[in-house]
RNA sequence: GCCGCGUUCGUCUAGUGGUCCAGGACAUAACAUUCUCAAUGUUAAGAUCACGGGUUCGACUCCCGUACGCGGUACCA
């Protein structure tokens, strides 16, 4: 029997990072085994539905490149992939159980009669261990709610069986309900799937990550300028580790070596700092043309996005996220507002006088300015003025950019253009910022 | 309360009885390089492997207990 795994989110909002994390392992495990990855929407709690979340689920998986083989809009041979469209099916099995006296009606709902003696055991793929529960801890539980919708515990079992799911990969908050599921499989005389209960991702307070906590949605990371490759790589490193100890690897590489045996059963805290580092690594590894393209896709509204190509090699090592491009380069496209504070951080006296000298030197420089001559000119000026070379160049930088941190100085000057640079310096001269 | 899962540097982790006075990565610090910031390189600091008992010639690794955290105990998933 070929491997089939499913991701079964509830459409209760834009999927948060924990859902994306689970999706990654579903996908990788399926691909590793030449199996199928299935998306099923579990919308049986009508009170928590959030309109539009379905689209966000599709968009998230799509962005991350975790393509599913079957799903709500990619029908397979297993009927609808949205539980609210499968009500008749659940009803049918509920009746069957009632007829066998394994379930009963209770105030408009239907309850399953749990087995009370013995224990229920299964082998979990995470930690490669057996887990057992005494059966007397399992109360009779509702399978069909009084509104006619099935509960998670019921719909999940029915669908997993009917959709021929072979491996249930889900969060370990479901460990406690697994005995219920197993009892259901038994009552229906079905073969249960294998289980892999992933640890949960936790927030800074160590409790389960949730939107409540301000957990970001997976798509927020896209908006923040993270690359999907970096996010996937980072997510892979939570709970799982590469058998060769690699920190940076592709999805394809991960698929080749994936095994639940390399999974850690302890819950992990999502630390964005490391994600930023990884993202920077991916950015730097990328060829300039590709990075240019990615930046242009990201900067949809940037007025000068067609002109950024020459800038890419200059900023490549200075950005950690695509969004960092904007604060780092905006002064190249428009005259910045000068801030007195910034100049006061420079270790230079008589800035006004120095500016005059700079302007007269630049005016007498032959255009187009040459990098070598430019550098010599100001090294000499630093010497004459008894300034440290670094301070001299920092003064130049701030004078035309208004910023303490910029791409390389001379290249930035060339990008802005000689005339514009001079114009900015003259405007600065006229202002009273350097008094 | 009861049931279950978990517990290795601040964080993510390696480790399946000896090769671990615990290795790597991020973050941190220092130095080098440098026109800034980065990037890069080198080094440093950082974990009595939650605690207490066993088992064993030997335990981070196996067993038991305790503590703490998390989850379940819903007509939420």
Q: Is A199 near strand B, with its CB below 7 A from some atom of it?
A: yes
pLDDT at position A431, please?
87
Is residue A344 in a domain? yes
Residues A38 and A153 in one domain: yes
Cα torsion at A17, A19, A25, A29 (round to 10°)? -150
| Mean pLDDT of all residues in A296-311 | 92
CA A153 – C1' B46 distance (Å)? 46
Q: Is A264 near strand B, with its CB below 7 A from some atom of it?
A: yes
User: What are the tens digits of pLDDT across the range A392-401?
Assistant: 999 999 999 9
CATH classification of the domain holding A414: 1.10.10.350
What letters, b where the CB count within 10 A reaches 16 and e where it falls short, cover A383-401?
eebebeeeebbbbbbbbbb
Provide the ipTM: 0.94
pLDDT at A344 over 90: no
Is residue A249 in a domain? no
User: What are the tens digits of pLDDT across the range A117-176?
Assistant: 999 999 999 999 999 999 999 999 999 999 999 999 999 999 999 999 999 999 999 999
- For residue A21, with 0-12 CB atoms within 10 Å meaning exposed, 13-18 middle and 19 or more buried, which class applies? buried
> Nearest protein residue to B36's C1' (by CA)?
A405
Is residue A25 in a domain? yes
- Domain of residue A421 covers 340-430
Query: Which nucleotides of chain B does any protein CB come within 7 A of?
Result: 2-8, 10-16, 23-27, 35-40, 69-77
Residues A351 and A321 in one domain: no
pLDDT at position A435, please?
66
Label each residue of chain A as H, E or C.
CCCEEEECCCCCCCCEHHHHHHHHHHHHHHHHCCCEEEECECCCCCCCCCCCHHHHHHHHHHHHCCCCCEECCECCCCCCCEHHHCHHHHHHHHHHHHHCCCEEEECCEEEECCCCCCEEEEEECCCCEEEEEEHHHCCCEEEECCCCCECHHHHHHHHHHHCCCCEEEEEHHHHHHHHHHHHHHHHCCCCCCEEEEECCEECCCCCECCHHHCCCEHHHHHHCCCCHHHHHHHHHCCCECCCCCCCCCCHHHHHHHCCHHHECCCCEECCHHHHHHHHHHHHHHCCHHHHHHHHHHHCCCCCCHHHCHHHHHHHHHHCCCHHHHHHHHHHHHCCCCCCHHHHHCCCCCCHHHHHHHHHHHHHHCCCCCCHHHHHHHHHHHHHHHCCCHHHHHHHHHHHHHCCCCCCCHHHHHHHHCHHHHHHHHHHHHHCCCCC
Q: Using an 8 Å Cβ cutoff, are A203 and A210 in contact?
A: yes
Is residue A193 in a domain? yes
| Residue A74 a catalytic site member | no
| Mean pLDDT of all residues in A372-385 | 93
Residues A138 and A40 in one domain: yes
pTM beyond 0.90 = yes
A210 pLDDT band (50/70/90 cuts)? confident
pLDDT at position A177, please?
96
User: What are the tens digits of pLDDT across the range A177-186?
Assistant: 999 999 999 9
- Angle of helix A228-236 relative to helix A17-32, nearest 10 degrees, comes to 80
Is residue A243 in a domain? no
Which residue among A156, A174, A202 closes a domain? A202
Q: Using an 8 Å Cβ cutoff, are A156 and A10 in contact?
A: no
Per the structure, how many domains does chain A have? 3
Q: CA A153, CA A187: separation in Å to the nearest integer?
A: 14
Residues near A434 by beta carbon (within 8 Å), at least 6 away in sequence: A343, A351, A352, A355, A428
Percentage above 70 pLDDT, chain A: 99
Is residue A240 in a domain? no
Q: Is A173 near strand B, with its CB below 7 A from some atom of it?
A: yes
pLDDT at A206 over 90: no
A251 pLDDT band (50/70/90 cuts)? very high
Q: CA A14, CA A11: separation in Å to the nearest integer?
A: 8
Q: CA A167, CA A169: separation in Å to the nearest integer?
A: 6
Residues A176 and A311 in one domain: no
A105 pLDDT band (50/70/90 cuts)? very high
CA A392 – C1' B62 distance (Å)? 67
Residue of A28 and A349 predicted with greater confidence: A28
pLDDT at A213 over 70: no
User: What are the tens digits of pLDDT across the range A17-32?
Assistant: 999 999 999 999 999 9
Residues A62 and A151 in one domain: yes
Residues A21 and A133 in one domain: yes
Residues A17 and A99 in one domain: yes
Q: Using an 8 Å Cβ cutoff, are A193 and A167 in contact?
A: yes
Q: Is A369 near strand B, with its CB below 7 A from some atom of it?
A: no
Is residue A227 in a domain? no
Is residue A41 in a domain? yes
Give the pairing type, strands A4-7 and A36-39.
Answer: parallel
CA A258 – C1' B21 distance (Å)? 34
pLDDT at A212 over 80: no
A403: tokens are 């910023």
User: How distant, in Å, are the alpha carbons of A305, A312, A320, A325, A360 from that of A225?
Assistant: 15, 15, 9, 9, 42
Residues A178 and A300 in one domain: no
Per-chain mean pLDDT for chain A: 94
Residues A187 and A308 in one domain: no
Q: Which of A124-128, A264-268, A346-350 has the lowest mean pLDDT?
A: A346-350
pLDDT at A349 over 90: no
Residues A15 and A64 in one domain: yes
**Binding-site residues of A for ATP:** 211
| Mean pLDDT of all residues in A188-204 | 93
């Amino acid at each position: 029997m070929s491997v089939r795994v499913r991701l079964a989110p509830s459409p209760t909002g834009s999927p948060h990072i924990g859902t994306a994390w689970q999706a990654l392992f579903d996908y990788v495990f399926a691909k590793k085994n030449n199996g199928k990855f299935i998306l099923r929407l579990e919308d049986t709690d009508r009170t928590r539905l959030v309109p539009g979340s379905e689209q966000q689920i599709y968009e998230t998986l799509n962005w991350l490149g975790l393509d599913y083989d079957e799903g709500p809009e990619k029908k397979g041979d297993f009927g609808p992939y949205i539980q609210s469209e499968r009500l008749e099916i659940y009803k049918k099995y509920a009746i069957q159980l009632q007829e066998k006296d394994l379930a009963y009606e209770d105030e408009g709902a239907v309850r399953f009669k749990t087995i009370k003696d013995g224990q229920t055991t299964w082998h979990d793929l995470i930690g490669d261990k057996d887990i057992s529960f005494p059966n007397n801890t399992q109360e009779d539980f509702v399978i069909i709610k009084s509104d006619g919708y099935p509960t998670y515990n019921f719909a999940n079992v029915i669908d997993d069986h009917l959709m021929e799911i072979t491996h249930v990969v889900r969060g370990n908050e479901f460990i406690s309900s697994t005995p219920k599921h197993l009892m259901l499989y038994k009552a229906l005389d079905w073969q249960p799937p294998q289980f892999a209960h992933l640890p949960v991702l936790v927030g800074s307070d160590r409790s389960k990550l949730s939107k409540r906590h301000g957990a970001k949605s997976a798509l927020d990371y896209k908006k923040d300028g993270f690359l999907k490759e970096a996010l996937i790589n980072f997510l892979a490193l939570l709970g799982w580790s590469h058998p060769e100890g690699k920190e940076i690897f592709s999805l394809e590489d991960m698929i080749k070596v994936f095994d639940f045996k390399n999974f850690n059963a302890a819950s992990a805290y999502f630390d964005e700092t490391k994600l930023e580092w990884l993202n920077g690594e991916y950015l730097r590894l990328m060829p300039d043309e590709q990075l240019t393209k990615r930046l242009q896709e990201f900067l949809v509204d940037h007025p000068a996005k067609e002109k950024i190509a020459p800038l890419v090699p200059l900023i490549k090592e200075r950005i950690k996220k695509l969004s960092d491009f904007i604060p780092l380069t905006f002064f190249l496209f428009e005259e910045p507002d000068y801030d007195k504070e910034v100049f006061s951080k420079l270790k230079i006296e008589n800035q006004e006088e120095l500016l005059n000298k700079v302007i007269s030197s630049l005016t007498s420089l032959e255009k187009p300015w040459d990098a070598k001559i430019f550098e010599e000119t100001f090294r000499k000026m630093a010497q004459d003025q008894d300034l440290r070379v670094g301070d001299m160049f920092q003064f130049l930088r701030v004078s035309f950019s208004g910023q303490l941190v910029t791409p390389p100085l001379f290249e930035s000057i060339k990008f802005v253009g000689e005339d514009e640079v001079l114009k900015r310096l003259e405007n600065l001269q006229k202002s009273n910022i350097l008094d």
